[in-house]
Structures are given as C-alpha cells and as structure tokens.
Amino acid sequence: MSSHFLKIKVSHSKKREFLESYELDGKVLKLEFYPLAFYFKLIENSLMTRIRSFILFKILIFCFWIFSCSLFKKETIPGGIPVFSKEGKILRYYPYQIRWIGFDENEFPDTTRLIDFRNLVSLEILHPEFQNLEELSSLKTIGFLNLNGTKVKELSPLSKLTALHSLYLGETSVDEKDLKQYSEIGKLTKLGLYKTKIRDLSFIGSECRLQQLDIRNTEISSLEPISNCKNLLELRIGHTKIKEIHPVYEMNYLRYLEWSELNLSKEELDQIRKRLPYLKLIPIHPGL
C-alpha cells in the first residue's frame, strides 16, 4: 500500500496570494489566488466595455437614421410621384394621394407636375423668384395657398381656383390694384396681406366672407371698407396708419384684435370693450 506526501506553503503579496505545493508524489504543484478586489475590477472592466459598445451601437443607429432621412428626398417611395425643380432636379417624391405640399425659400419647383396630385388641397411656395400664377390655375382642388415672400403680382389666374378659401401674400409687392384683378376675393375666408403695398381695402367689395384678415405693416388708414365683414373672427391691424376702429363695433363675432403701435385713445378702447366684451385685445391696454 503506497503512501502520498503533500507539502503546502502559503505565500502572500500585495498583487496576489498563492498556495505552493512542492511535493506530491514527486511532482511540483503551484496554485495562485488573486485578491477579491482584482475580480471586482475584472467585472467592472467587462461591464464598461459592454456599456461603451452599447452606446456606440446606438450612435451608429442614430447616424444611419439621419443619413436615411437625408436621402429620403431623392429616394423613390412606392406609388410616389417625383416633383422637380426648375433646373430639372428631383426635389422629392410624394404619394399621389397627398393633400399638402410645401416648398421653402430654397426650393423653386416646376409646378407643371402638381396636376398629378388630384387630392391636393394645400400648397405653399415660398421661393422669392416664383411669380407665374398661371402655372397653378389648373389645380382646381387647392383651398389653401401660401405665397409669402414671392414675386407674384398678376393675380387674375387665382379666379380659376374655385375651391380657394385661404390666401397668403405677405411680404410681396401686391397692392390694391393687383387685388382687384382677383374677382373672387370676396369669397375668401382667410386673407394675409402682411407687409404688402396696399393703401386701402376697397378691393374687398360688398361681398365679404372673411373670418381672418391680416393687414399689419401696411399703409392702410381706414377700416371703413370692411365694415360689412360681419363674420370676422381675427383682425390684425398693427403698425398701420389707422386712427379709428369704430367700424369694428358691429363685428359681433370678432374675438381677436391686434393693434400694436396704433395711436388709439383709451376712450375708444373702452368703447370697443363695452361693445365687444369677449374681444381679446393685443396688446392689452393698461387701463383695461
């Protein structure tokens, strides 16, 4: 019956501690053990590596999403119709059933293809060189048209847009003579003429369906021509030459009046408040 002999020596150090066996049936064995903090450090490093990898993955996904969005304008979408610029470049694709299309100041569209969008009801063209409204005369479904900041001047083609109810011509050079060319202007419910060249409101005529009117920053001096606009809900007249607002006394539906920088007396403001108790005045007079 054979005997086995095992000698064990324990050594310690700051970096590790180990058990050493010098003899076990003539063989040398050595076992090493590290401090507990060492294993915590390993786990911490592993977790940090995983966290950094996860964050990097998220960043890559986000960058890919941004890149995909930047390509959307030029990528074909199922059933999409391309809209070209005046230079013949594709601005973007739109689904044929879309109801709203908008172009900003840097996009000059070729409007001839817009006829393909048979459900189009809202259109915005803001390029400063756009001026030919005849190009839009075939868009019979258009109800909302924003042409702020463009070169439009000849407005008679708008009469062909029989569904039009909202028109915005802010910061254009149109005046009252140009607006008289638009024979259907009395059928509009919203009209924006901010910073235009108009000097009077006689172009509105006896037929008035307006609910919103913006004539801020113009040379208008009298509201008398719109005294028959009984359906007005919002009226913006700030920074004009208007000195009297008595024509609005009978506008019983009026709920918002913007009159910034007008020389109106407190008595007149008190009077309009008495006549129209639900009217919101902007700015609010200190005494009201």
Residue 8: pLDDT over 50:
no
pLDDT tens sequence across 238-265: 999 999 999 999 999 999 999 999 988 8
- As a whole number, mean pLDDT of residues 88-116 equals 92
CA 123/CA 135 separation, integer angstroms: 13
Q: Quick check: 13 pLDDT over 90? A: no
Q: Domain 98-282 - what CATH class? A: alpha beta
Q: What are phi and psi of 144, to 5 degrees?
A: -120, 125
Cα–Cα distance, 234 to 244 (Å, whole number): 17
CB 172 within 8 A of CB 196: yes
Residues 60-83: tens digit of each pLDDT = 776 665 655 554 444 455 568 899
At residue 206, the pLDDT reads 87
Mean pLDDT for the chain overall: 84
Name which residue leads in pLDDT, 18 or 199: 199
| Per-residue tokens: 161 | 């847009």
Residues 270/288, Cβ–Cβ less than 8 Å: yes
Sequence ranges of the chain with CATH classification 3.80.10.10: 98-282
Which residues face 92 on adjacent strands?
Answer: 83
Mean pLDDT of 181-204: 96
Q: How far apart are CA 214 and CA 224, in angstroms?
A: 15
Identify which of 272, 254, 275 has the alpha carbon closest to the alpha carbon of residue 262. Answer: 272
Structure tokens, 65: 């999403």
Q: Is residue 179 within 8 Å of 155, Cβ to Cβ?
A: yes
**Beta-carbon count within 10 A of 242 CB:** 19
Does the pLDDT of residue 5 top 50, yes or no?
Answer: no
**What pLDDT does residue 72 have?**
45
Overall pTM > 0.75: no
Quick one: pLDDT at residue 224? 96
Model confidence at 43, pLDDT cuts 50, 70, 90, reads: low
Cβ atoms within 10 A of the Cβ of 209, count?
Answer: 15
For 162-176, the pLDDT digits (tens) are 999 999 999 999 999
